[in-house]
Amino acid sequence: MKKKNLSAKKKIPKFYSDKLNDPRIKKIYLEFKNKLCTYKINNFSVAVSGGVDSMALSFLTKCYSLEKNKKIPFFIVDHNIRKNSTSEANSVKKKLHSLKIKSEILTIQKIKKKSNIQSFARENRYDLIFKKCLNKKLDAVLTAHHKDDLIENFFIRLLRGSGLKGLSSFGNIKSQIKINNKIFIFRPLLNTSKKDLTYISKKTFNFKVDDPSNLNDKYLRVRVRKLISKLKTFGLTFNKFKNSLDNLNKSNSAIEHYVIKNIKDNSNYLPISKTIILNQNFMNNPDDIVFRSFIIVLQKVGRKDLYTRGMKVENLLRDLKDVKKFGKKTLSGCIIQKIEKSVIISPEKL
């Protein structure tokens, strides 16, 4: 086995092979490579922000591309929010180029936005990369999300009132951001710490772009990061957190099983009219199963990119249970009406 690992280095130029001689970097690289092989991620691109996490990811991916003799696109997004975003994107591109990594800058049109700036930037960043991936017939984007991000996103979603599905979903190594999008997000570094990625970045590119928003308390993520730091003094560790997250995932999987069963047993899809009819038993399930089942049905009929907001669905379900109150309503591209004990969901436009 050792001979096989060592033989891989012979295909890699000296700069990269020398870095892989470092036992700490080599261990992380082998885990990274194993993730790609296990999940059969073959046609993919890499999202590069210029931070230490994504620079470490760039190094690992370049090693993989050299070993496998594979061309992999690297995308840098100029989000046009910060004053120096364009020069930062160019400096990242220049640094990657100096180490034989070909990258492309994708630019978001400058739009004035006063609220949810980080969320806006993230959504537009992915949209640009996804479009490029579709053009290049790629099916995944590698991101540098790591252990620390996993904990941060859990607490952010907790503070925003997410349910079981929302709390556990970020822990998936492979996932979709939009329902009908054919491009997957792949997070091969979720079991890798920020410290390890910082170590790789310093030992390889020794370059990073500092995002001043990471120090600004007006952003929820920064406040959550400080909260987690305090919780660590009370005994919070990644392993304890991961055990709890794994338990939540098991519970979520159990609910998903009954959601699928509810849709299969208690709904009837009419392909010609693209209509779904729900029988009485559909609604006679625990609330969370009905809620999730109904959202999936709405998406199938309405064919929207994003799931409908939970509060709107909850209000609609509450109205459906009140026979006297309910009339024909529309939501998420669907017309919902109740006839006797059945619910009919049809598209607003065919």
The domains located in the chain, with CATH, are: 2-236 (3.40.50.620), 255-347 (1.20.59)
Largest CA distance in the chain: 76
**C-beta of residue 60 within 8 angstroms of C-beta of residue 32:** yes
pLDDT given at position 140: 96
Cβ density class 242-267: b for 16+ within 10 Å, e for less: beebeebbeebeebeeebeebbeebb
- Pick from 171-180, 183-192, 219-228: least confident: 171-180
Q: How far apart are CA 257 and CA 96, in angstroms?
A: 45
pTM for the model: 0.85
Local structure of residue 219 (DSSP, 8 states): S
Q: How far apart are CA 295 and CA 288, in angstroms?
A: 11
**C-beta of residue 175 within 8 angstroms of C-beta of residue 81:** no
In this predicted structure, the answer to whether residue 1 has a pLDDT above a threshold of 50 is no
Confidence of residue 43 (pLDDT cuts 50, 70, 90): very high
In this predicted structure, the answer to whether residue 7 has a pLDDT above a threshold of 50 is no
Q: How far apart are CA 108 and CA 128, in angstroms?
A: 8
Average pLDDT for the chain = 89
